[in-house]
Amino acid sequence: MAEHDDDLVVDLSGPQWQALLTVAPPGHEPPKTVDFDVPPTGGGQELRRIGTQVVFTTARNERSGWPAWHVKIYTCASLGDAETLRQYLNAQASALQRANTYLPGAARRTPIEPPWAVVPVQVVRGDGRLEQLSGAVTTRLGVPSDQIVAQLESRLPRWIGGARPDLVLLAVSPQIEALPWEPLRHWPGTEHLADFAQLAAGIDQLHQLRWAHCDIKPENVCWCAHQDGSGYVLIDTDAATQADPPPRALRGTALYEYTGLRALRLDDPEGLRHLTPGLLYAQDRFGFLTVVLSALAGRHWVDHTLLGPDPDDPSRRVADSAEAVRHALRAHWPDPRWAPLADALAHPFGPDGRIALEAPGPWAETWLSGVRDAERRCADGDPGDGPWPDESLVHTFARDLERIRDHALRGPATRPERVHLAYRAIGEAAQEIALRRAALWMSVSGLGIVLAALVLAAAAFVIGE
């Protein structure tokens, strides 16, 4: 590796591919303390708490594959902790990777190229030894282990903090840009729905493997374009855990907590010790609902209305009742045409819906397909309820229409971004056309009158002579 003391290179390789990541020194943020509750390696019930110091940084891939990477560098307190955490992170990464295996595409290079439903993570040992994930991917720091062992404390860059290499673990994953969700959508953003299919299938797949992400929320969902299409991807898999048997502690974000889990926690502070797999699946599905609703109704609506207090019973959230969600959605989209969509979106928040949320079988794909059916029912006969637009104008404005589509499709953008680009382009084209037409009619009428006056004046002059 290391031409310079501060360089750190990670080598990832699999069948017929290799990525070489040059890790950048982190910024000036101090290391963050992160605790993991890890099942003991030798079996048994009690979780083992492992405290780590985590440094966040980035890396650039010098070979083919995804160019920008996110790197977390964990420093453990003891060799035993490092070994247990390594095994835990590997099991977590393996399960998450398997959730991507159903995605289409022959000869895919999943660890370094999309499509993904869940962003893949690779674990790298700080001591330079080879690490294998699911027998298919090997990871290693770009220095032979004997060199690292020989120069134990001097070979890792100084910015890691002088830790012993065998106490250090790295987790590397493709870096995907965060998605700026719109704050409010006064018309349902249904153009997002198609791109959620991949994510819904990935969540179902993860649950079939008896794992749960546990922290699905709008900021943990990014959008990713690739040569075969585009889709939403889950990131930040730190909280992912085996759901069956369930853990006895849970990490996640309180704001996006599933109703059943919230009730368990509020009834009894120790209640989370009695988690069930169904509650963990429901937590993921509830998170997925908040993400889909952020896309359709807006992020602000989700954070402040859906997850805000119910006006009829401020001790509860709107999200704790299907009826309250239905009312809130109908108030947000007052046009009655959206009623079927609002009903489909609200259903999982009610008692029947919650039974389905906690069921062990797949749920997300079926639910999303139901939402898309409901959206089609909203579209049936509308906006075509009014008279059919004048088709002859399509020929008149053919070049302008082409320009609007070209403008919207130029450059990489999510489908919703393209739609907004198109709205803007339509507004600009309308102004241009109006100006062109105004200039034409101003010339025709103005010159016509002047010419007529000239002819009349000339005629009067001739007659007068």
Partner 1 sequence: MFSSWRRRLRHRVSAGCGDPAARFAPYGHTFGEWLDTGAGSGRPDYAEVESAVAEYLGSAAKVGQRLGARTGVVLGVAGAAVTVLAVWGLS
What is the binding site for partner 1 (CB under 8 A)?
Answer: 186-188, 190-191, 193-194, 335, 337, 375, 378-379, 382-384, 388-391, 393-394, 396-397, 400-401, 404-405, 408-409, 415-416, 418-420, 422-424, 426-427, 429-431, 433-450, 452-454, 456-458, 460-461, 464-465
The residue count for the chain: 465
Please tell me whether the peptide bond between 246 and the residue prior to it is cis, using omega within 30 degrees of 0.
no
Shortest reach from residue 414's CB to partner 1, in Å: 10
Give ∠ CA 149-155-157 in degrees, rounded to 5: 145
By C-beta, is 152 or 451 nearer to partner 1? 451
With respect to partner 1, which residue has the nearer C-beta, 79 or 452?
452
CB-based burial label for 133 (10 Å; 0-12, 13-18, 19+): buried
Which is nearer to partner 1, 1 or 374 (by Cβ)? 374
Handedness of CA 109, 115, 117, 122 (dihedral sign): positive
For residue 185, which phi and psi values (nearest 5 degrees)?
-115, 110
Closer residue to partner 1, CB minimum distance, 192 or 347: 192
Do residues 69 and 57 make contact, with C-beta atoms less than 8 angstroms apart? no
- Phi, psi dihedrals of residue 447, rounded to the nearest 5°: -65, -35
Give me the least distance between CB of 257 and partner 1, in Å please: 30
Cβ of residue 187: shortest distance to partner 1, in angstroms?
Answer: 3
Contacts of 357 (CB under 8 A, 6+ apart): 258, 260, 281, 282, 285, 286, 348, 363
CB of 339 to partner 1, least distance (A): 14
Quote the tokens at residue 457. 């004046």
Two structure tokens written together for 60: 């650039």
Q: What number of CA atoms fall less than 13 Å from residue 376's CA on the CB side?
A: 6
If the CB atoms of residues 173 and 190 are measured against partner 1, the closer one turns out to be 190
Least CB distance from residue 425 to partner 1, whole Å?
9
- Nearer Cβ to partner 1, position 68 or 438? 438
Pick the closer one to partner 1 by CB: 159 or 397: 397
C-alpha neighbours within 13 Å on the C-beta side of residue 15: 7
Measured from the CB atom, the residue of 323 and 382 that comes closer to partner 1 is 382
Residue 168 CA to residue 79 CA, distance in Å, equals 9
CB of 363 to partner 1, least distance (A): 22
Q: Which is nearer to partner 1, 56 or 441 (CB)?
A: 441
The minimum distance between CB 435 and partner 1, in angstroms, equals 6
- Cα 150 to Cα 162: distance, rounded to the nearest angstrom: 16
Q: How far is the CB of 114 from partner 1 (least distance, A)?
A: 19
- Is it true that the peptide bond before 383 is cis, omega within 30 degrees of 0? yes
Residue 137 neighbours by CB under 8 Å, 6+ apart: 12, 13, 14, 111, 122
189 three-state secondary structure: coil
The least distance separating partner 1 from the CB of residue 116, rounded to whole angstroms, comes to 22
